[in-house]
Amino acid sequence: MSDWLLQLGTNPRARRLTKTLGLPLPLPQTLRRASGPWEERPLGDQAVVLGTAGGRALVETAARALIAAGADLSVVGPAPPALAEL
């Protein structure tokens, strides 16, 4: 969607006109953005499920990265014993 359509969708007069004409003009969901260029905990208190199957080589690394990003982590499937310490 172009910027022009986004601006049109947020303009109250344009929205009223498109509703009167019966035209669809969806208003996109406003995204949560960090205030600066980098956010320390982008997943702050978000529930995240990490599914594992077969090879477990990267499970511990992925789990540590998700926890460092602030995720409330749940692991589903076979997990290495080191995850119990996290």
What local confidence, expressed as pLDDT, does residue 79 receive?
Answer: 74
What local confidence, expressed as pLDDT, does residue 49 receive?
Answer: 95
Pull the structure tokens for residue 83. 């995850």
Is the CB of residue 45 less than 8 Å from the CB of residue 66?
no
Pull the structure tokens for residue 69. 């990003």
Give the residues across from 50 on adjacent strands: 75
Region 28-44: mean pLDDT is 78
Question: How does DSSP classify residue 85?
Answer: G
d(CA 56, CA 82): 11
pTM for the predicted model, two decimal places: 0.57
> CB under 8 Å to 53, separation ≥6 — which residues?
77, 78
- pLDDT band for position 22 (cuts 50, 70, 90): confident
